[in-house]
Amino acid sequence: MEITHASPIKAAVLGAAGRMGQCIIESIAAAKGIALTAAVERPGHPLLGSRIVAKGDGQGKEIIITDDAQRVFSAIDVVIDFTSVESSLSYAPLIAAAGKAAVIGTTGFSSAQSEELREHLRGARWVFAPNMSIGVNLMFKLAGLAARILSQDFDVEIIEAHHRMKQDAPSGTALRLAHIIAESLGRDLDDAGVYGRKGLVGARTLQEIGIHAIRGGDIVGDHTVLFAGPGERFEIIHRAHSRDTFARGAVKAATWVVHQPPSMYTMQDVLGI
Ligand code: NAD
C-alpha cells in the first residue's frame, strides 16, 4: 500500500555534524516535500545539544543535535545515515524495530557486515548505495556494458582518488564497479581482484581486475575504469566536484523510498536507470 504524505516527510540525519551530514541538511533545506526533523550524532560529540534552525519545508523548526536515536526514531518517517560501519550496524535494528524507511550511504562494509545489515533491515523499505550521484550510477551501467562488449580482450583496472580523511579503501564505489565488471565477465572478484601492486609481481594475468586507491588533500571522489586492449584503451571517468551531488541523491532517495513497498533498493532503482 502506498503511503501518501500531505505534510512534508520527516527526516532524521545520522552523523549530522559530519561532512556528508552537513551537506544533507543543506540539501533537505533546498528540497520540496521533506523536512529536517531530527539530527543525531555520536555520544560525546562536541556539537551535541547544538541548535539547527530548519529551512525549506521545515522552516523555522528548532532541531537540537542529540545522541538519543531511539527516541527520535518514533517521530520521523525516514532515516538518512552517513556515519560509519559500526554505527550503521548498531542503528539498523532500531530502524527496523521502529518500522522506519532508511537511506544508508555509509561505505566500508565487508561482505559479512553487508549481509548483517541486510539481515537487520529485512522487511524494511531502504536504499543502500555506495554512491548517490547520478553520474556514478550511470557509470555503473556503462561499466557493465563496456565489460560485456570488450569482453576478455581488454585488461580492466579501476583507479579511485579521495580526500585524505577517507577511512575505507578502496572506495565502496570502486568495489561496486569491480563487482559489476566481474559479474559481466563471469569472474569471481575474490579470485580476480588485485588490490595495488608492489615488487616483482610478474606479468599481469588476463583474469585480473586491478583496483587502486589514491588518498590526498580534499578530493571529493574520482573514479576511472580503464579497459586496456590491443592498440587502444577505453576509459570511463567520473569526477565529483562537490558533496552536494551525493547529498541531493540521498534526499531524493529518502523522498522516494517512503512510497515504496518494503525491500532493499539501489540508487539505480531510485533514478530509474
Ligand atoms: P565524516 O567522518 O565527516 O562524518 C561521519 C559523522 O558520523 C561524524 O560526524 C561522526 O561523529 C558521526 N558518527 C559516528 N558514529 C556515530 C553514531 N554512532 N551516531 C551518530 N553519528 C555518528 O564522514 P563523511 O565524509 O561524512 O562520510 C560518512 C560516510 O558516508 C562514510 O562511510 C563515507 O564513505 C560515506 N559516503 C557515502 C557517499 C554516498 O554517496 N553513498 C558519499 C560520500 C561519503
Binding site membership of 118 for ligand 1 (Cβ less than 6 Å): no
Binding site membership of 41 for ligand 1 (Cβ less than 6 Å): yes
Ligand 1 atom nearest to CA at 163: 25
Instruction: State mean pLDDT over 87-115.
Output: 96
* pLDDT for residue 59: 79
Instruction: State mean pLDDT over 216-220.
Output: 97
The crossing angle, in degrees rounded to 10, of helices 134-150 and 244-257 is 90
Which positions are catalytic? 162, 166
* pLDDT for residue 3: 52
Distance 15 CA to ligand 1 centre (A): 6
The crossing angle, in degrees rounded to 10, of helices 172-184 and 134-150 is 30
pTM higher than 0.75, yes or no?
A: yes
**In this model, does residue 135 exceed pLDDT 80?**
yes
DSSP string covering 68-120, please?
Answer: -HHHHHTT-SEEEE-S-HHHHHHHHHHHHHHT-EEEE------HHHHHHHHHH
Instruction: State mean pLDDT over 7-22.
Output: 97
* pLDDT for residue 22: 97
Instruction: State mean pLDDT over 35-47.
Output: 97
Instruction: State mean pLDDT over 162-172.
Output: 96
**In this model, does residue 1 exceed pLDDT 80?**
no
Distance 90 CA to ligand 1 centre (A): 14
